Structure 1
């Protein structure tokens, strides 16, 4: 995702984890800045999602991911 420069990776990780208690880990995988992106940077995260009581359905994971995307967009992120 592309994020505004003032938005920190730490803040993003905390925001993503707050979306759902089943998100147990948010790990930064890649970080990239390019000269043409004066006010943005690209970041890639790995999320580990787990429910201790059942296997999550595709629909549940899709809904969880939609909620993560909505939170990121509120912070000015663009999903690529």
Structure 2
């Protein structure tokens, strides 16, 4: 389930997916230590969301982000046609 898709003031279509991973208690270095692992964990998921939405809407999705509730961290995920 895609958590959130919106169009910003500049017309960009953006995916925002919420995550409940434990970060602060699991990684000694906190988010800085976890971010590469988390990026790899969710990159395919967001790419599939992008492809599905673009297929339905016949319009591009411009950006994708993850929001982690543990620590209120936001991470931009690069999604492109190479995946």
TM-score (norm. length: structure 2): 0.30
Higher relative contact order, structure no. (Cα contacts within 8 Å, ≥ 6 residues apart): 1
